[in-house]
Amino acid sequence: MSGNKTCRRIGRRTFEYISRPSVAGAGSVAGEMEGQGPQAEWFDVVLNDDRMGQATWEKAESKMLGTAVEYAMKDAGVSRRDVDAILCGDLLNQLMASSFMARDLAVPFLGVYGACSTMTESMLLGGALVDGGYCRTVITGASSHFSTAERQFRMPLEHGNQRALSAQWTATAAGALVISSEQDSHMRLTHATIGRIVDPGIMDSSCMGAAMAPAAFHTIQNHLRDLGRKPLDYDLILTGDLGSIGRRILVDFSERGSKLPHLSEVYDDCGAMMYDVSRQDVHAGGSGCGCSGSIIAGRICKEMREGKIRRAMLVSTGALMSTISTQQGESIPGIAHAVTVEYV
Amino acid sequence: MKYNQYADGFSPAPTCLKNCLLAFLTGGAICETGHLIRAAVMSAGADAETAGMWTTVALICTAQLITGLGWYNTLGRIGGAGAAVPITGFANSVVSPALEYKKEGIILGTGAKIFSLSGPVLAVGFSVSAAAGILYKLLGLL
């Protein structure tokens, strides 16, 4: 029975996309503050009103994700009818932004939750659906909005409080990709690693970078080991939202004892890239699913299609705590999923 | 715990002195405003108790208005405890959730969430005053 099956597993944790699904289109939207940061030129849309003319912040986030999806479809030259499934997620309870976006789009929908790791989680799954022949064209994406995340995870917007210096700023941003076996593109998915949860025991929810760095290390190390590669075999290894603190921890930990030698030469982090910390009061950088979502769908896709990046490992990172788990005395579990994309 | 210590080494050192100074200036300015209001009301002929009441009302109403205008969060970000501790901080902690949850309706939104931040303060305040009252009474019996 298993004779026809092609095993795609490589090593312990990695698998290969044999048909090399293409990233046929990308769309990215960023909020006002993100539009004043160093990544501004790469976004398809920069909002001048984070509310997008909507009655609530949640509706605004939904619309923002919908806009990213629209741009991705336009970029790929596909219409709604060509899309077999859309896989996306956000940070809100019951994936409110994604579900309501998908309701309006009326395309088969799979909600994906991986906290801020959602972008590569949805890419990994969407790529597998296409590679396995279960879908021809899928859309994958993720969004986050400062004003919806604040109210769900922290304090009301108008409350006068001080954020910890290690805290990160939830990016108002969304990214979407069209992954397809029908469309040709220079950017292809080649390999992926599903991360496992690594919980280093951080209790403080304003230290997310430190909570997620070990998971990122674990996933990157497994991905490289399974493929027999070293960091320098990549043009770019990009984590999701470790921020400036988590970024330094990952580099220090990886290069100490040469566990991942020369990582810092090819490494960057979307959270650390999103804002100009000298001008923007974001403390340890950006976070949120939209942070890596919009930078992957913005800068990374554009640079890869131009051939400036030939091989990149995208590793969105997530902190899988809930609003009540920290109150119940649980530590913060970290996760990271890796997808390697190549210029073909 | 070892990882915690390792990770702590990468966090920026807290700016305690600057925070204390800003809190002192912000809190001091709020309280000094209170003093000025009180003096003005008393010079208009009110007694100390009435003037105190009007001062409280004026500070709370101003803090509510400033919260509604979206300025108190900036004051809180800069002033820290200096903006949180005076009565204006309490007003802010009542008004900010009330505004935030307006979209979920007056009863189940604003009504249910209005004390979500100040509720714990009230609960602890009530409990401590009840305990202090009982203790005071018991000491009086001795």
CB contact under 8 A, B10 and A210: yes
CATH class as words, domain A8-180:
alpha beta
Q: CB distance from B76 to chain A under 8 Å?
A: yes
Q: CB distance from B120 to chain A under 8 Å?
A: no
Q: CB distance from B12 to chain A under 8 Å?
A: yes
Q: What does DSSP say about strands A334-343 and A187-193: parallel, antiparallel, or unpaired? A: antiparallel
Q: How confident is the model at residue B20, as a pLDDT? A: 96
Q: Could you tell me the maximum CA-CA distance found in chain A, to the nearest angstrom?
A: 64
Q: CA A286: distance to chain centroid?
A: 12
For the ranges A204-208, A226-230, A337-341, B11-15, the lowest mean pLDDT is seen at B11-15
Contact B3, A214 (CB under 8 A): yes
Q: How confident is the model at residue A3, as a pLDDT? A: 52
The closest of A249, A236, A261, A260 to A315, measured between CA atoms, is A236
Contact residues, chain A, for B90 at CB < 8 Å: none
Return d(Cα B77, Cα B79) in angstroms, integer. 6
- Nearest-neighbour CA in chain A from B92: distance (Å): 6
Which residues have a Cβ under 8 Å from the Cβ of A185 and sit 6 or more positions away? Answer: A22, A23, A24, A305
Q: Is the pLDDT of residue A54 over 90?
A: yes
Structure confidence by residue, pLDDT tens digits, A265-295: 999 999 999 999 999 999 999 999 999 999 9
DSSP B102: G
Same CATH fold, A189-343 and A8-180?
Answer: yes
Contact residues, chain B, for A151 at CB < 8 Å: 100
Q: Specify burial of residue A329 (Cβ count, 10 A radius: 0-12, 13-18, 19+).
A: exposed
Contact A168, A282 (CB under 8 A): yes
Per-residue pLDDT of chain B (142 residues; tens, 9 = 90+): 589 999 999 998 888 999 999 999 999 999 999 999 999 999 999 999 999 999 999 999 999 999 999 999 999 999 999 999 889 999 999 999 999 999 999 999 999 999 999 999 999 999 999 999 999 999 988 7
Return d(Cα B129, Cα B135) in angstroms, integer. 10
Residues in chain A: 344
CB contact under 8 A, A207 and B89: no
| Domain range annotation of chain A | 8-180, 189-343
Return d(Cα A123, Cα A1) in angstroms, integer. 30
Contact A145, A31 (CB under 8 A): yes
CATH class as words, domain A189-343:
alpha beta
CB contact under 8 A, A160 and B76: yes
Return d(Cα A217, Cα A198) in angstroms, integer. 10
Contact B93, B117 (CB under 8 A): yes
Structure confidence by residue, pLDDT tens digits, B61-84: 999 999 999 999 999 999 999 999
Q: CB distance from A278 to chain B under 8 Å?
A: no
- Nearest-neighbour CA in chain A from B91: distance (Å): 10
CB contact under 8 A, B75 and A162: no
Report A:145-184 residues touching B (Cβ under 8 A): 151, 155-163, 165-166
